[in-house]
Structure 1
Amino acid sequence: MVPPWTPAAPQDPVPPLAPPPPSDDPDAPPAEGTSSPPPLAPPAVLTPPRLAPEKRFGGVRTSLGNFARSGDDRDLRRGLGHYVRSGYGGSNVTTSRFGGTAQTAGALSHALYSTANGAADAPVDATALAGRSAEDIATAIIEAVRPVDGTQDAEAERAAIHDAMSDLLAQYPDADLLNLSNIERDFVIERFSAIDVARRFELDVGKHLLEKAATATVAMARLKQMRTYIVEAVAASFRKLKDHGRMLTAGRVARIVQDALRDTFEVFEGYEE
């Protein structure tokens, strides 16, 4: 399966018209209006395009190895800087790579908003879920927003939605997932976006951190530290947008999330090596 962030492959050019078939008589002159065909050139060897430079995460792994041993946020910041600069070629490309996160955030916002308002197009049947556990409701929302499609991106986003709603219930114990307030809904959208970035980073390069940590306990502590750092960085970008009047209003959620992620990746890109 071709990932959604992969640039479209160029179309093959239309082959030229073939020359008329040669006569069976080797001494026969060329057909009228034609000239002798030139000798055939050897077939070109086609090299498939590389989707990503070799060892693109080399700098990230080195920095994460240092972070696994030291726990120093400066090593983590260097790793995040390499991730954006050399791993994906800059903040603009990285933002495009996370385009699915913004789209899913928009779908999640619609599901939560339409369910709370009893809209006819709500993808979640609130009546059928009345009286069910928070876990059952969360599962129904996840299935409606991000069904399984066999990709790592889908699995990461599904887990991020689940974690975001778990964090919501920890922050707002009385929240009703079928009838969230604007503040609660914004919390879920922002937290989902941040957790998804952390999970993608972990999928891409987290294995190296686990391998370089001294013990399993240290590895888990470093992963938690890494996730917290990324979540706080994304949250800071959302606060910056809010300070400029950019709110998560209906119909603009995907765009706002995309802008928040771009701001986050620009910050990461600026981290010194």
Structure 2
Amino acid sequence: MGTSQSSKGPGPGVPMVPPWAPDLPSTNSSGDDQSQDSQDSSAAPSGGVPIAPSGRFGGARRSLGGYAGSGGRSDLRQGLKHYIRSGYGGSKTATRRFAGTASTAAVLGGVLAGLASGQSFVANNGLDPVLLAGKSADEVMSAVTEAVRPVDGTQDAEAQRAAIRDSLSEVLTRFPDADLVNLNPEHREFAIETFTAFDVVHRFELDVGKTIFAKSPNATAALARLKEAREYIKETVSAAFRKLKETGKTLTTGQIKHVVKDALQETFEVFEGYIK
């Protein structure tokens, strides 16, 4: 993203879940993201939002500093544990903090499915599969990004816009013959999973990524450490989606928001539970 080296992350004395973050989806027996939107305002978990203490990322930074210096995988795991446990007050609060990821994933899934079916979105966001036909992959990615997550001046929007582009690039890397205007269900599912992973990665970099650069012995090592941390986070998110799929929770159109929320919860519980 180009921001991880300069961002100091959120400071103390602010809500761990910012006021602009959407509420988490509640359990939805109908399995419809659209109908659930009207219920989300009352679906937030009980209890107030914790206020971030001083030094909220101190434990994460110490462990990540050790990881940056040595490349030790145990230090990376400890850094992720402290990142969730202390930085965000535990996996439940962290999941609430990332509720916007689930909401944006649902929008992304809907837009990609609509384009694949030939549906025009001109009235809502200017997307038209007819006009996009023949455009370069970069032009399509830009159009989809603008439609799904317009700029609003927040770091969340910046991170999610980058994650959308990264996920679509990953689709083309994994499936070289894929058409971004006509992605099949497998391609769209992969895009949603990778978007979720990249958004967690980008938030992690914004919050504590500077430590890895500052504590690595040189720039080459810093880039290598950060790449390994990214891949580790992405694989953990991917494993969470696989685990959910084995229980029958799939990324069908009406279920995207809920499945992504569950995958985030599973991921953060794994991080929080690390021992060594």
TM-score class, shorter: 0.7 to 0.9
Q: For the residues of structure 2 that align with 1:94 and 1:175, how far apart are their CA atoms?
A: 34
Which residue is 1:77 aligned to? Answer: 77
State the shift of 1:115 in Å: 0.9
Which residue is 2:184 aligned to? Answer: 181
Which residue is 2:35 aligned to? Answer: none
State the shift of 1:201 in Å: 0.5
| Counterpart pick for 2:208 among 194, 205, 209 | 205
State the shift of 1:119 in Å: 2.6
After superposing on structure 2, the runs of 4+ consecutive aligned residues of structure 1 that deviate more than 3 Å are: 120-123
Gaps of 5+ in 1: 9-48
State the shift of 1:4 in Å: 9.6
Q: How does 1:88-237 map to 2 (within 5 A)?
A: 88-121=88-121, 123=125, 124-237=127-240
TM-score by length of 1: 0.82
1:104–1:146 contact (8 Å) kept in structure 2: yes
Q: Deviations over 1:114-160 (max 9, x none)?
A: 11112355752111111110000010000000000111110100001
Greater share of residues in helix: 2
Percent identical:
55
TM-score by length of 2: 0.81
Instruction: Tell me: CA distance 1:212–1:226, structure 2 relative to 1, closer, same or farther (3 Å).
Output: same
Q: What amino acid maps onto 1:257 in structure 2?
A: V
- Answer with 208-217 or 117-126: which moved more: 117-126
Give me the CA root mean square deviation.
Answer: 1.9
Instruction: Tell me: CA distance 1:145–1:4, structure 2 relative to 1, closer, same or farther (3 Å).
Output: farther
Q: For the residues of structure 1 that align with 2:238 and 2:115, how far apart are their CA atoms?
A: 25
Which residue is 1:5 aligned to? Answer: 17
2:119–2:129 contact (8 Å) kept in structure 1: no
Which residue is 2:41 aligned to? Answer: none
**2:86 partner SS:** helix
State the shift of 1:164 in Å: 0.7
State the shift of 1:189 in Å: 0.2
| Counterpart pick for 1:263 among 266, 271, 275 | 266
- Answer with 162-171 or 113-122: which moved more: 113-122
Q: Deviations over 1:154-204 (max 9, x none)?
A: 010000111111111011001000000000000000000001101100100
Which residue is 2:256 aligned to? Answer: 253
Asked which structure has the greater RCO (Cα within 8 Å, sep 6+), the reply is 2
**2:81 partner SS:** helix
